[in-house]
Copies of this chain bind each other. A is one copy, B any other.
Amino acid sequence: MQIPPLDDRARDEALRQLDGLVKPVGALGRLEQLAAWLCAAHGEVPPRPLDDVRVVVFAGDHGVSASGTVSAYPRHLTAAMVRVFLAGESGVNVLAREVGARVRVLDLAVDDPLDDVPDEVRRHKVRRGSGSIDVADALEPGQARRAFDAGAAAADADIDGGADLLIPGDMGIGNTTIASALVAAVLGLPAEDVVGTGTGVDDDGRARKVAVLERALARTVERGATDDPFAVLTSLGSACAAATAGFLVRAAERTVPVVLDGVFPCAAAVVAREIAPGAEQWWVAGHRSTEPAQAFALKALGLEPILDLGLRLGEGSGAVQAVPVLRNARAVLAGMGRLADLG
C-alpha cells in the first residue's frame, strides 16, 4: 500500500519557528517535537486545530480466554462492556467527554449475539470469538482480510465525517495475550519476554500465559506463517487486531494522524507496519503500558509515549488523555510571542 510521506519542509519550518519563540531553545521539550510532527503531517505551520477527535473501540472475544487460563476476568464481560460503552459509562467514554472526543464501539467478534444493540455496532461482526491460539488458528481463511477492511472502512467513515485525529481503542477479555503473541511473532521474540500481567493475573496466571504463547508461537512457526502479516493475524490474532491494523493503515493512507493507546493497538501497529511500511510516521504513542510487549512494539515503531499514568485499561483510555498535550503543542506554535519582537 502507498503511504504518503510527511512534509519535511513543514517540519523544518516548524522547528525554525519554535527556536524563535519567547523561551530558551528546546525548553518546551516534547511539545516541540509534537508540534513539528503535526506540522509535517498537515503540511503547514502552525498545524490545523485538532478539534474533531474520534475514538473507535474494537470489541471482540478470544478462544484462548475460554478456559480461564489467561485472564483474571470472565469472557461474558466483553458483551456487558459493549452495553456500558453504548450507555456512555466506560472509562474512555468519560475521558473522551473531557476532551470533546466522540467514541464509537464496533462489535468485531464478541462471543454473544448482542441482539439488543444497534445495527451500526453489530454490522461489522466477522465472527463470534476466535480459535484458541494454543491449539488452532484464531481466524478462518479470509477473515483477517475481512476484519482489516472493516477497520479501514471505520477509519474512512470517521475521516469522511471530519476527523482531525483518530484513536483506535480495544475491548476484549484476553486482549493482552493476543497482543503479546502478535508482537512476539512479528519481532521474533520468545514468549517469556513479551508476556505481562494484563489486567491483573498473578504469577501463576502469567506462567500459564507464557505456556499458551509458547504453544501458539511454535504452531505458527511450524506452519511457516510468520512472514506474511495476514497469516500472522489468522494464526495468532483476532478480528479486532486485524481491524485495528486496517484502521491504522487507512488513517495513514489518508494522512490523518493517529494516537496509539496501550499494548493491543501497538501490537496491531507492528503488524500494520508490515502491511504498509512507512505508515508508522502518521502515528504517535499516547500512553506507556505496563505490558512488556508494548515496549518492544514501540521500539520497533520508533515511538515514545507521551504519558505514563500507570493505566492498564485499554479502550483508548490512555491515548485520549494525550490529546490535550497535542493541542498544547499546536497552541504554543500558534500563540507564543517571538524573541525577535522583544526589542
Chain A residues in the interface with B (C-beta under 8 A): 21-31, 72-73, 77, 80-81, 84, 87, 89-91, 93-95, 97-99, 199-200, 306-313, 317, 321, 324-325, 327-328, 331-332, 334-337, 342-343
B-chain residues with CB within 8 Å of residue A28 when the two chains form the complex: 91, 311, 313, 317
Pick the contact of A199: B27, B72, B93, B343 (CB < 8 A). Answer: B27
B-chain residues with CB within 8 Å of residue A332 when the two chains form the complex: 91, 94-95
- Indicate if the CB atoms of B25 and A200 lie closer than 8 Å: yes
- Indicate if the CB atoms of A95 and B312 lie closer than 8 Å: no
- Indicate if the CB atoms of B309 and A30 lie closer than 8 Å: yes
- List of 4 A-B pairs having minimum Cβ-Cβ separation, nearest first: A29-B310, A89-B337, A24-B199, A94-B335
- Indicate if the CB atoms of B309 and A95 lie closer than 8 Å: no
Q: Within the assembled complex, what's the spacing in Å between the Cα atoms of A91 and B89?
A: 35
Closest chain-B Cβ to A181's Cβ sits at a distance in Å of 20
- A and B contact pairs by CB, cutoff 8 A, 10 listed: A23-B313, A27-B311, A29-B312, A87-B337, A89-B335, A91-B332, A91-B336, A94-B332, A94-B335, A99-B324
Closest chain-B Cβ to A212's Cβ sits at a distance in Å of 20
B-chain residues with CB within 8 Å of residue A91 when the two chains form the complex: 21-23, 27-28, 332, 336
Q: Within the assembled complex, what's the spacing in Å between the Cα atoms of A333 and B140?
A: 41
With A24-B199, A89-B337, A342-B80 known to touch, is A98 a contact of B31 (CB < 8 Å)? no
Pick the contact of A200: B24, B331, B342 (CB < 8 A). Answer: B24
Pick the contact of A342: B84, B312, B317, B336 (CB < 8 A). Answer: B84
B-chain residues with CB within 8 Å of residue A312 when the two chains form the complex: 24, 26-27, 29
B-chain residues with CB within 8 Å of residue A336 when the two chains form the complex: 89-91, 93-94
Q: Within the assembled complex, what's the spacing in Å between the Cα atoms of A178 and B181?
A: 52
With A22-B81, A97-B335, A324-B99 known to touch, is A29 a contact of B311 (CB < 8 Å)? yes
Q: Within the assembled complex, what's the spacing in Å between the Cα atoms of A21 and B91?
A: 9
Pick the contact of A337: B90, B199, B310, B334 (CB < 8 A). Answer: B90
B-chain residues with CB within 8 Å of residue A342 when the two chains form the complex: 77, 80, 84
B-chain residues with CB within 8 Å of residue A95 when the two chains form the complex: 328, 331-332
- Indicate if the CB atoms of B89 and A22 lie closer than 8 Å: yes
Nearest B residue to A22 by beta-carbon distance?
B84
Nearest B residue to A77 by beta-carbon distance?
B342
Nearest B residue to A322 by beta-carbon distance?
B324
B-chain residues with CB within 8 Å of residue A80 when the two chains form the complex: 342-343
- Indicate if the CB atoms of A324 and B98 lie closer than 8 Å: yes
- Indicate if the CB atoms of B89 and A311 lie closer than 8 Å: no
- Indicate if the CB atoms of A337 and B84 lie closer than 8 Å: yes
B-chain residues with CB within 8 Å of residue A24 when the two chains form the complex: 72-73, 199-200, 312-313
